[in-house]
Structure 1
């Protein structure tokens, strides 16, 4: 969201310059970053600033509680996660106008579905590592408020961010050049390609649709959201690295994924990794059986669907993806080693995976009416 606002982009770029000029000060990455994060959110929205100040402060206290408490640790752990999930879910319902309250403002939910995942990751770290997980309040706030990834990820891991925090600011000419090129590429995707592709999608989708037009829209929309989200990720990765932090990749050649299991390790990789790591850790400490893995796969994909939005469409999308991944687990087909199969087989499996994804990708296409209109068009032969 920040990256479509030139004032925000200039502010972030200005912070990069400040960090570069203060590189010899050991505290520049921590102290100056916190000041920037606080001022940026305050200028953007006072309500957003006030909400996140309270939200982050409460969760830092919860984090410290898990670091130091020895009694009822599991109970506290489950309760704190449940409170976060319940709180975010309630705010989303307010955003959907299921509930109303004069104190609620939609700006409060900006980035919240990503930031709650970071909060929970920190709680996991505190639960499993106790006092060794403790972190200064300054670094915890920087972790939650990190502007380059605040609204749409990639999702940062608590351990990795804290490890980066301890390193001095090191951005040389080669890294700066690589990061700037990445930002320019992301801007081109977001501002040029996505704008043009969105206009075409809206124009075609508003007409009476036939089979070939609906198929076109499904493929076109798939490409559109790839350029949209990968463009955002490019910008976030570029600016994050210019801030001195290693931002994980969100897209790892997803179109060359021969199974849906592998696809979700390559498409929005940080989201798939987060759900896989935390759900499997919680429900299966040991290597799961095929049936356990299949059941957890359905659960994870349903949760990912509901994470995107509280609607029947996202629920069915999650069940659909979960069933396919569950079948891959039960049949022992979760991975395909490119070196051990023929090229034709490998690319045929990649094509099948893309077909499976394309069949449901339009769920992200906006209103339920638009999605229904496109699916109905599939049955409308010329």
Structure 2
């Protein structure tokens, strides 16, 4: 996490100042940003630098090949994506110590689950647009290695990033002010709120729990991860925009979502959008039937669960959300138009959605012991 390291923050501020001072040079955003991205990784970790240079070069060659491939395009498209997925899964298994090798270093996993999604998005673009998708190596490398969103997103779309790359570096006073306010808000969430909330959560969950305490911890942890991840997103969006790129929003009032389907369009929005765009595009390029949409909802949510971690808890988390979304599709209840229903109905649907999320969100703690301890507490009545 760059943003809790003052040296990293100062380095990004320095880069923004350099971009502002060289705004007369039309290619400053492209050339200087690549130099910054590479130097940043090199200083942070030589192994991480070497890995990402090789990883980016390999995928850029694959990207160019797919742009020009005249035959067996779909086959090569699937192979290139499969190689990335297998590679990332293998490295995660090394990180879990399922496999061991002296050359493996956990540092290479930093940001990899986010960057592989960007690599796959670029392959989709190459597959569907062919030679028109060709991009200079300089811009492709900046897309993969973009430091503000490197470790935890938001997930950048290849097409949007390339469109921003073509624009000269220009920021007005209002944009700078908004970006700085966004960074300060994110820092407050991450450093003040999350630190305090984590301490309280850890203290409470270590003791014997009763029903009301487990319920409190579920709600508390839900708020904690919201402030944690939305805080990171705020900082990344602020720094990204100060570097001349329009970083997409990751949280779009998720607590006002009247269905679970709409919740996943508003919570970690770039991740949900990525899976919907790429899975639906691959398996159902036409408007799917309710049954197909339901099946794809389960598949997408299981993949999102496993994307967060290779464990049966994350698998069940994804399956649980997928089944609820599948039922919403089958029953025609996947969306609610606020303007066409009563306020009471809309608020009740929002409350139901938040209840569905709250009972499962504790999975994000990443600890089976913590998860079971809190769930067991639900059935431990204080009287």
- TM class by shorter chain equals over 0.9
Deviation at 1:170, TM superposition (A): 1.0
Q: Distance in 2 between matches of 1:379 and 1:79?
A: 49
Cα drift, residue 179 of structure 1? 0.2
- Secondary structure of 2:97's counterpart equals coil
- State the match for 1:256 in structure 2: 256
> Post-superposition, which runs of at least 4 consecutive aligned residues in structure 1 deviate over 2 A?
none
For residues 197 and 178 of structure 1, what CA distance do their matches in structure 2 show?
27
| Aligned equivalent of 1:31 | 31
1:55-70 → structure 2 map (5 Å cutoff): 55-70=55-70
Determine the C-alpha separation between the residues in 1 that align with 2:368 and 2:105: 24
| d(CA) in 2 for partners of 1:71, 1:342 | 55
2:238 match: 238
The residue number in structure 2 matching 1:279 is 279
Write the distance in 2 (CA, Å) between the matches of 1:157 and 1:75: 23
Counterpart in 2 of 1:113? Answer: 113
Question: Hey, what's the Cα distance between the residues in 2 that align with 1:352 and 1:170?
Answer: 44
> Partner of 2:250: helix, strand, or coil?
coil
Query: How far has the Cα of 1:71 moved from its partner?
Result: 1.1
Distance of 1:300 and 1:13 partners within structure 2: 38
Aligned residue for 1:367?
A: 367
* C-alpha distance in 1 between matches for 2:115 and 2:328: 31
Tell me the TM-score normalised to structure 1 length.
1.00
Output the CA distance in 2 between the equivalents of 1:71 and 1:338: 48
* Residue number in structure 2 paired with 1:336: 336
Alignment of 1:38-77 (within 5 A): 38-77=38-77
Deviations along 1:195-229, one digit per CA (max 9) or x if unpaired, are 00000000000001111111011000000000000
Cα deviation, residue 366, structure 1:
2.8
1:340-380 per-position Cα deviation (integer Å, ceiling 9, x unaligned): 10101000000000000001000011311111111011111
1:281 is paired with a residue whose SS is helix
For 2:51 and 2:285, the matched residues in 1 are separated by 36
- Name the structure 2 match of 1:221: 221
Aligned to 1:144: 144
Q: Distance in 2 between matches of 1:73 and 1:366?
A: 39
Give 5+ residue unaligned stretches, structure 1. Answer: none
Counterpart CA distance in 2 for 1:167 and 1:275 is 28
The superposition leaves residues 235-276 of structure 1 with CA deviations (integer Å, 9 ceiling, x where unpaired) of 000000000000000000000000000000000000000000
Query: Who is 2:3 aligned against?
Result: 3
Q: Does 1:303 align with 2:300?
A: no
Hey, what's the Cα distance between the residues in 1 that align with 2:377 and 2:252?
33
The match for 1:207 is 207
CA shift digits 1:272-321 (9 cap, x unpaired): 00000000000001110000000000000000000000000000000000
What is the aligned-residue RMSD (CA, Å)? Answer: 0.4
Which 5+ residue runs of structure 2 have no aligned equivalent? none
- 1-side partners of 2:215 and 2:53: how far apart? 46
CA–CA distance in 2 between the matches of 1:61 and 1:198? 44
Tell me how far apart the structure 2 counterparts of residues 212 and 330 of structure 1 sit (CA, whole Å).
Answer: 34
After TM superposition, the score normalised by the length of structure 2 is 0.99
Structure 2: how far apart are the matches of 1:206 and 1:177?
43
Instruction: Describe the superposition over 1:73-114 as per-residue Cα deviations: whole angstroms up to 9, x where unpaired.
Output: 000000110110000000000000111111000000000000
Corresponding pairs, count: 382
Q: Name the structure 2 match of 1:292.
A: 292
